[in-house]
Structure 1
Amino acid sequence: MPLAHILPLDGTAVLFIILSFIILISILNHKQTNKKFPPGPRPLPLVGNVFILDRKRPFKTLMELKEKYGSVFSIQLGLRKMVVLTGYETVKEALVLKADQFAERPDIPIFKKITKGNGIIFGHGDSWKTIRKFTLTVLRNLGMGKQNIEEKIIKESEHLVKQFEAKNGHPFLTTIPINAAASNIIVSLIMGERLEYEDENFIKLLVLINESFRLAGGPYIQLYNMFPMLHHLPGPHHKVLEHQNILKDFFRKIFIQHREVLDENDKRSYIDAFMSKMDEEKNDPYSHFHEMNLLCSVTNLFVAGTETSSSTLCWALFILIKHPNIQMRIHEEIDRVIGGSTPRAQHRQLMPFTDAVIHEIQRFADILPMDLPHETTSDVILRGYCIPKGTYVIPLLRSVHRDTNHWEKPDQFYPQHFLDEQGKFVKREAFMPFSAGRRICIGESLARMELFLFFTSLVQTFSFHAPEGVNGEDIDLSPVGGLTLVPPNIQVRALVRSRNT
């Protein structure tokens, strides 16, 4: 006879039984953890260590915990145990020396809802490997890292400079024009053409991306990822999903346009190349080249290609305002090396100070302090600890970029980190703004070229200042929390300089 017939249960009793079961599982999970599993703070039943985290800047809590537990430690959020890797040597050992064992991406509820495991960033297994390899090949064929993409960036720099000139020295927010410029480079690869800054749909997408990044890194989405059963309740996760649907609808319309004129002998964009591959494998039921993978890959490229480069450039302008002596030295180097000519990638090796400043901006701004999470593909031993297959792993890039063993002044903006005694540029191994290993940013070479050319074009043309009445050196550059760390919403004055000829 069913238990319910013997002992009727109301809703409260059922809820109590479910919660008791979850708590029991949590306790057993804690007791059964391998003794060689990395140490960490003792979790509470059901919620884990959520209450000890700085909800707006969780990386700060993790930086504090590494001082107590060492370079490899664990935390628990909800019922999920996570391993945190800190310091350059540890992160390198995991992501580079044991790359295959740390190459997966865990299921994160909000992103699983968006991608269903497809695409480049949150893809899994063979699908991810196939699409990533294909994407790298196509982007290189389209010119990523080569002279023709350099010409696109130079042309886009001219558009961006005109946007700044149109402000006539009045204070303005730099976010949208810089977003648009950075986005247009990846858009030209994805679609084969750029979009106009006045295009309302384009600007709308950029605004939605900015808001999505802010919401996705916020406390509520963190809670949602711990307890995805919250999906049916009101909350900002619905706004994030709505934004993504708008972005997907935009690209679906683009797909229709490309399909109508697709020429197998003239593939001018990533979309063309992917559609051609879809046609080639249309009779293969196991093919990874299907519309959902195309949609997710294109949106991944669009969002990632917009957000990180543009945020870094925004940081750059604010840092120059706060450090006018550094801005002056860059002006001097640009005037000496480039003069009134067009900045080009080949100038980089002749401009060690400017190059050092750009690298230091990336290190100091630390756009993605917790990296995107990884997952182990097999049981692995790291620093004497056993990390089981399927473990959620956080490579704490903040700890790499603040590692006192590798940086003389880790908490200060100090371009000399990348200069030797003779003032020549030097590479630093503890520099991972694009992550490392199998999941390293697919557009690293493109982003490096963008940053140099956009930055030098802007600083060649303008001197940057705070609004009148504000002392630039007193500006608080505390980042705004989100999925990435973006600079505060500060207005900038761009005053045209007289160019050398």
Structure 2
Amino acid sequence: MFLILLCTFIVLLAVQLTLKELRFHRKYGHIPGPTGLPIIGNMHQVNRLHPWISFSDWAKDFGPLMKVNFLGQVVVLCNTYATVKEMLDTRGKEFGGRERGYRSQMVTKSSGFMRMDVQDPNWRRSRGLLHSSVKAFGPGLSRIEHYAQQMSEEFVQCFKSCNGEAVDPLSSLYDTSLGMVSLMIYERKLDSISEIFQSIKAMTSLTNEAFHVGKDGAQLDHFPWLRFFGNQTFQNLKIAKKHVFKTWNWYKNEIAPMEDSELDDSLGKPYMKVIRDYNNKCSPEERISDMNMMGNGAHVTFAGVLTTTTTLYQLILVVLHYPETQKKMTKEINEVIGSRMPTLDDRNRMPYTNAVITEIMRFSSVAPLGIAHRAVVDTDILGTKIPKDTYVMPNMYLVHYDKEVFGDPEIFRPERYLDKKGELLPADDEIWRHTIPFGLGPRICAGMMFAQYRLFLWVCILYQRFEIVADPEHPLPPCDIKSTELKGLTLMSKSYKAKFLPRD
């Protein structure tokens, strides 16, 4: 009897897998991609620490559009600028859906955190208000400049206190970045040892690890029942959500009641105050809920801290490997700024420093696979049909390392963005068009200008105040992109130490 039941089960399983394979082929058979195994697909073939390299190697065989199968979940990779632009920009609204995996649903439910849905009017209104809060003109620009200058003293004093001893700058850069983001969102400068600061820091760290592209977190999306068996990703997300609620309660109970009387809005308003003012004027139907306010605050913090910290950390390492870059940048800083505090007005007179910052964003490509987008309708990319609810990802690494455009993409060379006179190439130049670290279209990073301005001011201040040199006792790790590792959602070099020698 047992043998009959076993044989029946095997036959039914085989039939189910065959039918699933037939449905899969009918739906995605026209899109090329590597051959995988039943059930697990291509999961076993992907380099877990360097998944973007696996995808890029496959792209040589399968071309501009390629499908990859993870445990039955198909992801389509856009491997060229043309396909990325079509997906993000030309058909941006058609690919405006968010991920529906268990991790996303778990963290979004009841907290609004990580909610990104172009179809949701509430989300669109929140995003519009974020743009107005960090807009690149008027009070918004003044706030970015003022707070970046103010917060720079955090890492300046930290590095000065090292007295020439080699130090890993990551923690100081992270704390400074988080401190500035909290000022922009809540109008509060948080002490790095305070309970709420540590809570926000834990939220960003746990969330980043939980959404790691190449690790076991993805298993929770396919097998949610793993949460009952001690799945670490599930535990991390539970703790992260607690920190989201803790931060919201701190704002609602301690900050919001004092905003109207204590806020100095001569430099513009923090993001949360912008939303509250909007809610006081709009109709009840258009009001942004407390849940969405809470989630938006957490999401902006998460995104604003992660990428800027990583990019600045990578820049310091790369410039250590290319010492001529530091000499040229310091020369320009001395000629344009001298000993005064850098301002955003200096950007237009500092082409080389701008080229360095742009080149590091291309060279390091800290988000090599961007963010997954979901097709909200049956559509196509340059004629290739993409069924509704398909996940599509932009392969930013391949766009930024296209040899036909950049010539020698594996070399860090800021001069590629400059003309023969040393001025920045025009914005419509092919080099600029193919440098898209913030994405394109309706889902372009809302904090793009905030990140660019902050990076400019901090890079100027760092190299104005310090000569940064390698320490022979602590050999530097390689700085090329293939030597980095995916730490959560972003690439990070191996840890390093450097000496920050005061120039004054």
* Shared fold (TM-score, shorter chain, > 0.5): yes
Equivalence for 1:191? 186
**1:73–1:85 contact (8 Å) kept in structure 2:** yes
CA distance in 2, matches of 1:340, 1:175: 26
CA distance in 2, matches of 1:276, 1:14: 64
SS in 1 for 2:456: helix
CA distance in 2, matches of 1:48, 1:93: 27
| Residues 38/265 of structure 1: CA separation in 2 closer, same or farther (3 Å cut) | farther
| Residues 28/180 of structure 1: CA separation in 2 closer, same or farther (3 Å cut) | same
Distance apart, 1:412 and its partner CA:
1.8
SS in 2 for 1:367: coil
Choose the corresponding residue for 2:128, options 124, 127, 133. Answer: 133
Equivalence for 1:394? 393
Equivalence for 2:274? 273
Distance apart, 1:414 and its partner CA:
1.5
Q: Cα deviations across residues 251-271 of structure 1 (Å, max 9, x unaligned)?
A: 222222234335499784322
Q: Are residues 1:489 and 2:495 paired?
A: yes
Distance apart, 1:18 and its partner CA:
8.6
Q: Are residues 1:253 and 2:247 paired?
A: no
The AA in structure 2 aligned to 1:205 is I
Choose the corresponding residue for 1:30, options 24, 35, 41. Answer: 24
The AA in structure 2 aligned to 1:463 is E
Choose the corresponding residue for 1:152, options 143, 147, 153. Answer: 147
CA distance in 1, matches of 2:202, 2:170: 9
The AA in structure 2 aligned to 1:48 is G
| Residues 141/275 of structure 1: CA separation in 2 closer, same or farther (3 Å cut) | farther
Distance apart, 1:102 and its partner CA:
1.8
The AA in structure 2 aligned to 1:31 is H
The AA in structure 1 aligned to 2:486 is G
| Residues 31/212 of structure 1: CA separation in 2 closer, same or farther (3 Å cut) | closer
**1:104–1:375 contact (8 Å) kept in structure 2:** yes
CA distance in 2, matches of 1:185, 1:64: 39
Equivalence for 1:81? 74
**1:353–1:415 contact (8 Å) kept in structure 2:** yes
**Identity among equivalent pairs (%):** 24
Distance apart, 1:474 and its partner CA:
6.5
CA RMSD after TM alignment: 3.0
- Higher mean Cα deviation, 321-330 or 438-447? 321-330
Distance apart, 1:466 and its partner CA:
2.4
Q: Cα deviations across residues 282-318 of structure 1 (Å, max 9, x unaligned)?
A: 854xx56212211111100111111111111111111
Distance apart, 1:189 and its partner CA:
2.0
Q: Cα deviations across residues 310-337 of structure 1 (Å, max 9, x unaligned)?
A: 1111111111211112111111111121
**2:244–2:295 contact (8 Å) kept in structure 1:** no
Equivalence for 1:403? 402
Equivalence for 1:4? none
**2:362–2:435 contact (8 Å) kept in structure 1:** yes
Equivalence for 2:231? 235
SS in 1 for 2:216: helix
CA distance in 2, matches of 1:146, 1:11: 71
Equivalence for 2:221? 225
Distance apart, 1:140 and its partner CA:
3.4
What aligned pairs does 1:298-447 form with structure 2 within 5 A after superposition? 298-426=297-425, 427=427, 428-447=432-451
**1:115–1:122 contact (8 Å) kept in structure 2:** no
Choose the corresponding residue for 2:116, options 117, 122, 132. Answer: 122
CA distance in 1, matches of 2:485, 2:387: 35
**1:145–1:446 contact (8 Å) kept in structure 2:** no
The AA in structure 1 aligned to 2:224 is P
Choose the corresponding residue for 1:480, options 485, 492, 498. Answer: 485
**1:131–1:288 contact (8 Å) kept in structure 2:** no
Choose the corresponding residue for 2:42, options 35, 41, 49. Answer: 49
TM-score (structure 1 length as normaliser)? 0.89
TM-score (structure 2 length as normaliser)? 0.88
The AA in structure 1 aligned to 2:186 is M
Distance apart, 1:20 and its partner CA:
5.3
The AA in structure 2 aligned to 1:229 is W
Equivalence for 2:51? 58
| Residues 203/170 of structure 1: CA separation in 2 closer, same or farther (3 Å cut) | farther
**1:102–1:375 contact (8 Å) kept in structure 2:** yes
| Residues 265/143 of structure 1: CA separation in 2 closer, same or farther (3 Å cut) | farther
Distance apart, 1:225 and its partner CA:
2.8
Gaps of 5+ in 1: 1-6
The AA in structure 2 aligned to 1:444 is M
Distance apart, 1:110 and its partner CA:
1.3
Gaps of 5+ in 2: none
The AA in structure 2 aligned to 1:96 is D
Distance apart, 1:489 and its partner CA:
1.4
The list of structure 1 runs, each at least 4 consecutive aligned residues, that deviate by more than 6 angstroms after superposition, is 7-18, 141-144, 264-267, 473-477
CA distance in 1, matches of 2:245, 2:15: 39
SS in 2 for 1:38: coil
Choose the corresponding residue for 2:163, options 147, 168, 172. Answer: 168
| Residues 75/118 of structure 1: CA separation in 2 closer, same or farther (3 Å cut) | same
Equivalence for 1:3? none
**1:83–1:394 contact (8 Å) kept in structure 2:** yes
**1:119–1:131 contact (8 Å) kept in structure 2:** no
CA distance in 2, matches of 1:329, 1:262: 45
CA distance in 2, matches of 1:473, 1:303: 27
- Higher mean Cα deviation, 20-29 or 86-95? 20-29
CA distance in 2, matches of 1:340, 1:26: 67
Distance apart, 1:281 and its partner CA:
6.2
Distance apart, 1:429 and its partner CA:
0.7
CA distance in 2, matches of 1:372, 1:395: 7
The AA in structure 2 aligned to 1:220 is D
SS in 2 for 1:330: helix
CA distance in 2, matches of 1:281, 1:307: 33
The AA in structure 2 aligned to 1:166 is S
| Residues 78/155 of structure 1: CA separation in 2 closer, same or farther (3 Å cut) | same
**1:95–1:438 contact (8 Å) kept in structure 2:** yes
The AA in structure 2 aligned to 1:432 is I
CA distance in 2, matches of 1:176, 1:328: 26
| Residues 146/425 of structure 1: CA separation in 2 closer, same or farther (3 Å cut) | same
CA distance in 1, matches of 2:344, 2:136: 19
CA distance in 2, matches of 1:66, 1:100: 26
